[in-house]
Amino acid sequence: MIVGCAGLRIRVRPKIPDAGQTVSRCLPPRIRAPAHHFHAPRRPSGFNTIISTMNGMKEIAKLGQRLVLLPERAVFWMQAKMLIVADPHFGKAQVFRDCGIPIPGGTTAADINRLSSLMEQLQPDELLVLGDLMHGRIDGGRKFSATVDTWRQRWSGTLITLVTGNHDLRAGPPPAPFRLDRIVAQHVYGPFVFSHKAQTTNSRSRYTIAGHEHPAVFVSGKGHQREILPCFCFGDKRALLPAFGSFTGNQVIRPEPQERVYAVAGDEVVEVALGPRKK
């Protein structure tokens, strides 16, 4: 199915109500600079060429910053050289198995390999996780620890920041092999406020980017094809990112008229036109 072709229409279901609460900032002083004091690091030679040759991506601009939406359900902030993912829910299948539910393994390893492949291409200075790094507490998990440890050793020079999510709070301290550099309630950097649950801001110089809702849109075509596709949703004041984890599930959202939706259709990010709302 080709998303965005003639005859495709988007049907939306009721929007999930905001469950976010204002959280206190827990940030080192050096990352709390006002938006107008933000200075982008110098880009390495040929970096724009690397981005332009990546397949299926979509580049947009917010507050003068370039954001690349990737079909791997991640965002790359060009000026800061920051890779942003939300809701990996690593270890979810194992949590189910620990509860006696026979779920096949391998999803976490596959997701970590996908993340590593992105990092190989983009060489980010920082990896920012917008909450729910872990789905829950894992008992034992030697294979999981070995997988994460190997990945972290490969990217030992990359700063990793976790904005805590609701599942992280229930799971307890993140597994040691992640060797996280920062664990914060909210991450304010440049013109962006990064949080787990979406929050609106009245500031014209700040824009919120969040996860938590696992946003998706329901699409259908002339041939009666129907599909729920994960999506990025960008409004005037905030953006929602799709869940990075492949075993997370999605929630169909009801975008506002001014919001722009970018669906992940296989290996491509495509902007979809929203039809008029039904009363």
What own/partner pairs with CB < 8 Å and gap ≥ 24 does 176-181 have? 176/145, 177/145, 177/146, 177/148, 177/149, 177/152, 178/133, 178/148, 178/152, 179/152
Look at residues 239, 232, 185 and name the one whose alpha carbon lies nearest to residue 208: 239
Cα–Cα distance measured from residue 22 to residue 2, given in angstroms and rounded to the nearest whole number: 40
- The pLDDT assigned to 136 comes to 58
Q: Low-confidence residues of the chain, pLDDT below 70?
A: 1-54, 92-107, 135-141, 200-203, 221-224, 247, 275-279
Q: For 257, what's the count of Cα atoms within 13 Å in the CB-facing half-sphere?
A: 3
- The pLDDT assigned to 144 comes to 80
Q: Output the six-digit token pair for 134.
A: 């872990």
- The pLDDT assigned to 108 comes to 80
Report pLDDT digits (tens) over 6-36: 333 334 333 333 333 333 333 333 333 344 4
- The pLDDT assigned to 159 comes to 96
- Greatest C-alpha distance within the chain: 55
- The pLDDT assigned to 50 comes to 52
Cα–Cα distance measured from residue 218 to residue 79, given in angstroms and rounded to the nearest whole number: 33
Q: Is the pTM of this model over 0.85?
A: no
Cα–Cα distance measured from residue 38 to residue 111, given in angstroms and rounded to the nearest whole number: 32
